[in-house]
Amino acid sequence: MDVVVGRVAKAHGITGELAVDVRTDSPEMRFAIGATMRAKLRDGTSRSLTVSAARPHAGRLLVRFEEVVTRDVAETLRGTVLLGSTDDLPPTGDPDEFYDHELEGLAAELADGTKVGTVKEVVHGPGGELLVVVMDGREVLVPFVREIVPTVDVRGGRVVLDPPEGLLDAD
């Protein structure tokens, strides 16, 4: 499975370097020299890229790929989404920490086993993480805190919700 690790913002300089908005907690691993990733271009095509250099610059990474040697080629990659394999991710080492892709697709149910929906995605906001749970065709934002999501059972394919009154109600 692939996860988004970055997005090409623009070409930088004349030698094919790219300014990349990082979308990973481990850029030092994902953008290490020799690391490979799949690039999904705006036109829907994909290609493989190999990192030859990376350095921080103005809140982004400036990345060189072996396959991109001119500014003209770099310009064609503007807006490209960079994908890395989840197989490359190290274990979190903490039973209360999860990668987003581990939560996406899990069944959401109440403590009594009543199924209420499916986790669509995890949203990271300034106030913390939210699970987007699809219920009867609508999306409900559930704060991802132990009081409301007391159990995460990745192997069992479910999260258990203990929502406060009204959280799951339709408007």
Q: What is the DSSP string of 13-77?
A: TTTTEEEEEE--S-HHHHTSTT-EEEEE-TTS-EEEEEEEEEEEETTEEEEEETT--SHHHHHTT
Q: Which domains does the chain have, with CATH numbers?
A: 2-88 (2.40.30.60), 100-161 (2.30.30.240)
Q: Is residue 8 a contact partner of residue 78, using CB atoms and an 8 Å limit?
A: yes
β-strands 158-161, 107-110: how paired?
Answer: parallel
Q: How confident is the model at residue 90 (pLDDT cuts 50, 70, 90)?
A: low
Nearest to 65, CA basis, from 85, 48, 84: 48
Judged against a pLDDT cut of 90, whether residue 69 lies above it is answered with yes
Token representation of residue 127: 């106030």
pLDDT higher than threshold 70 for residue 92: no
Indicate the helix (H) or strand (E) that contains 152: strand 151-153
Paired tokens of 153: 């059972």
Average pLDDT rounded to a whole number, residues 63-68? 97
CB 88 within 8 A of CB 29: yes
pLDDT confidence tier of residue 86, bands split at 50, 70 and 90: confident
- Rounded Cα distance, 137 and 135, in Å: 5
Residue 123 scores a pLDDT above 90: no
Residue 1 near residue 58, CB atoms below 8 Å: no
Q: Are 110 and 117 in contact (CB under 8 A)?
A: no
